[in-house]
Amino acid sequence: MLFNFDNSYARELEGFYAPIEGANAPSPTMLAFNEELAADLRLNARALNSLEGARILSGSLTPEGAQPLAMAYAGHQFGGFSPQLGDGRALLLGELIDTSGQRRDLHLKGSGRTPFSRGGDGKAVVGPVLREYLIGEAMHALGVPTTRALAAVATGEDVLREGPQPGAVLARIASSHLRVGTFQFFAARGEEERVKQLADYAIARHYPELLGAQTPYVGLLRAVMAAQAKLIAKWMGVGFVHGVMNTDNMTISGETIDYGPCAFIDAYSPKAVFSSIDQFGRYAFASQPAIANWNLARLAECLLGLIDKDDDEALRIATNTLAEFMPLYEAEWLAVMRAKLGLSTAENGDKALIEKLLSAMHTGRADFTQTFRALTTDGDVRALFAAEPEGYDNWRAAFEKRLRSEPLSPEQRAANMALVNPVYTPRNHMVEQALSAATEGNMEAFEALLAVVKSPFEHKPEYAHYAEPAPAGSAPYRTFCGT
C-alpha cells in the first residue's frame, strides 16, 4: 500500500464537500517529483515516482484508503462576494500523517471537473503547475509557511488555453485547505451549526491548545490573526507579491496557498503589481497587510454567532479583537526587518529607520534582494541605487549611529544577516524562461532554477546570473489569470 490515509475531513465534515474522482489522464508521466517531501510524509519515494505513482497523482487511479472529494467554499474575489466557489478543478485525495505527527492534505490540482467547476474544464497546464511547484519550494527554503508540491504530472493531453497547451496536474501538500472562504460558504447560508462544526474542526486540527478554552472562537480568530501576521511579515521580508489575496486564498493554518499571478519584486516599489487583472492595485505589495486585515474581518463576521449570542456584544468583541491585528503585524514585520539589518536589540526609532531605507530604495530604484544581501556582505550598496544615491548616504549615516548601541560584533551581525537575506529568489524573467522551455518539453532550465532557489542563502559563484534582476530595458513583468 503506497499511502496510509487517515481522512478526518471526509469522516467528520459530511456535507462540506462533494465526493468526486479525478478524470482519466491519457498518458500520465512525472515531470517533477519531490523526494525530500515524500520522505517527510512517510511515503516510499521509489515506489511513488513511477508510472503507477503518476496515475495516482494525476487523479487517474484512486489508491487504497483515499476518499477523494471536492471541498466547498465561497469567497470575496477582488472585493466582490461569490457565494459558491469550491474546488472547481481539484480534489482532496486524502490526509497523511508526516514524520513529526502532523496531519497533511494531499490535494490534486487540475484533476478534472467537479460539481464546483462552474462551466470550466477542471484542467491545468504545465506552466502554471510548474510555477506553483517552483515558487512553493522557493518559499519553503526561504522559511515562509507554504503549501508544497509533492509532484507535477504531465497528463499526455492538450488543454485549450488561448490555443492548445500540454496538460498537467499538481500534487499539493498543505497543513489543510481550510480557508476563510470555507467559513463564508456556510455563514452566507445562515448555517450556524455547520460554521460551529467547522470552527471546532479547525481548532482541533490547527490550534488544539484552544480545546476547552472559555472563549474558543475568539481564540480561533486570534490564532488565525497571529498566523497571518507572521506570514504576511515574512512575505514583506522577501519581497513577495501574492497577487490574488481573495478570501478563498487565505488559509486558517497561516500557509501561503494558490500561487497564481505571484511574483517577487526586483527594484523596490510599494505599489508593485504584476497581475494583469489587478487593474486598481488592490493586492499591491504594500497593501498586503491591510488586505489580510480586511480578510480577517470577513472571518470574524462568520464567527459572530459563536462569539456571543448577543449580536451587539459579539460585534464589540470581534471589533476589539480585530483591532489587535495591525499592531501584531507591525511587531512581526519589525522583527523580520530588524533581523535583515542585523539588529539584535529594539529601539523606538527602528521603524522610522527601516522606512527611511525603503523610501531611499524606492527613489533610487534599488533591487530589493541585492540591497539587503549587499548590506549583509558589506558590499557596494550605494552602487545599487540607480538614482539619487544621496538618499542611501543619509540613511547609512543614521544606520551607523544606530549600530553603536548594538552589542554584537560586526562578524556576528553579518553571520546572522546571512541566514535571513537570500542571495537568490525566483527572478521573474528566469521563471518565465524556465516555464516556457518546460512547456516545450525541455525541463533543464526548470530543474536548474529549482536547485538554486532551494538553497537561497548559499552563495555559489557559478550561480551568479541567478542573482541578477531582469536586464535593463526589459518590459514590465506581467502575470495573467491561471499563470
Looking at the DSSP assignment, which residues form a beta bridge with residue 91?
A: 108
Cβ atoms of 186 and 305 within 8 Å: the answer is: no
- Distances in whole angstroms, Cα of residue 94 to Cα of each of 11, 198, 405, 413: 11, 18, 53, 45
C-alpha cell at 220: 480561533
Report how far residue 412's alpha carbon sits from residue 403's, in angstroms, rounded to the nearest whole number: 13
Residue 350: partners with Cβ closer than 8 Å, 6 or more residues away: 334, 337, 338, 343, 402
Cβ atoms of 364 and 391 within 8 Å: the answer is: yes
User: How many CB atoms are located within 10 Å of the residue 393 CB?
Assistant: 12
For the question of residue 248 being annotated catalytic, the response is yes
Q: In one letter, which amino acid is 335?
A: A
Report how far residue 152's alpha carbon sits from residue 174's, in angstroms, rounded to the nearest whole number: 15
Task: Tell me which residue of 203, 250, 148 sits closest to 8, measured CA to CA.
Answer: 203
DSSP-derived secondary structure for 88-115: SSEEEEEEEE-TTS-EEEEEEESB---T
Residue 100: partners with Cβ closer than 8 Å, 6 or more residues away: none
Question: Given CA atoms 38, 39, 45, 48 in this order, what sign does their dihedral have?
Answer: negative
Residue 217: partners with Cβ closer than 8 Å, 6 or more residues away: 199, 303, 306, 307
Q: Which residue has the cell 540613511?
A: 395
Report how far residue 457's alpha carbon sits from residue 454's, in angstroms, rounded to the nearest whole number: 9
- Name the 3-class secondary structure at 172: strand
C-alpha cell at 380: 557596494
Candidate list 87, 105, 248, 278, residue with the active-site label: 248
Cβ atoms of 248 and 73 within 8 Å: the answer is: yes
Residue 115, phi-psi category: left (phi > 0), alpha (psi -120 to 50), beta (remainder): alpha
Cβ atoms of 423 and 373 within 8 Å: the answer is: yes
C-alpha cell at 435: 516555464
Catalytic residues: 248
